[in-house]
């Protein structure tokens, strides 16, 4: 009986520790302070960086959607990949919308 209790307590300790590690690693870092652009070059650099980050996010979502298609075969796989590509295309088009009107 004491061995079963020891194993249960040990298992609980390991699971609790793993959960605590997972919770600690899920915390986000503090965001960088907002710095307003002073010149047109600063504004262009900021806009370019925002676009790069937005495209990276869209590409990451596409890779996840495409990975979901991996276990499928045949028609279902093809349809899944087409849907993932269509979603990426829509996201890319929608991401260009805020940049359509430029400041003069």
Residue boundaries of the structural domains of the chain: 2-99
d(CA 80, CA 82): 5
User: Average per-residue pLDDT in the chain?
Assistant: 80
Q: How confident is the model at residue 84 (pLDDT cuts 50, 70, 90)?
A: very high
For position 20, what pLDDT does the model report? Answer: 54
Reported confidence tier of residue 56, pLDDT bands at 50, 70, 90:
very high
pLDDT (0 to 100) of residue 102: 57
Could you identify the residue written with the tokens 């370019």?
48
Question: Quick one: which H or E segment has residue 74?
Answer: helix 74-96
Least confident of 32-41, 60-69, 85-94: 32-41
Highest mean pLDDT among 18-22, 34-38, 93-97: 93-97
- What per-residue confidence (pLDDT) applies to 76? 95
Interatomic CA distance for residues 86 and 92, integer angstroms: 10
d(CA 4, CA 30): 44
């Amino acid at each position: 009986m004491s061995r079963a209790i020891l194993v249960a307590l040990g298992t609980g300790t390991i699971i609790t520790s793993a959960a605590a590690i997972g919770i600690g690693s899920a915390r986000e870092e503090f965001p960088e302070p907002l710095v307003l652009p002073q010149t047109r070059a600063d504004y262009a650099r900021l806009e370019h960086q925002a676009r790069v980050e937005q495209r990276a996010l869209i590409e990451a979502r596409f890779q996840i959607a495409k990975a979901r298609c991996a276990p499928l075969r045949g028609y279902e796989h093809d349809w899944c990949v087409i849907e993932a590509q269509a979603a990426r295309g829509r996201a890319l088009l929608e991401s260009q919308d805020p940049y359509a009107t430029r400041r003069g």
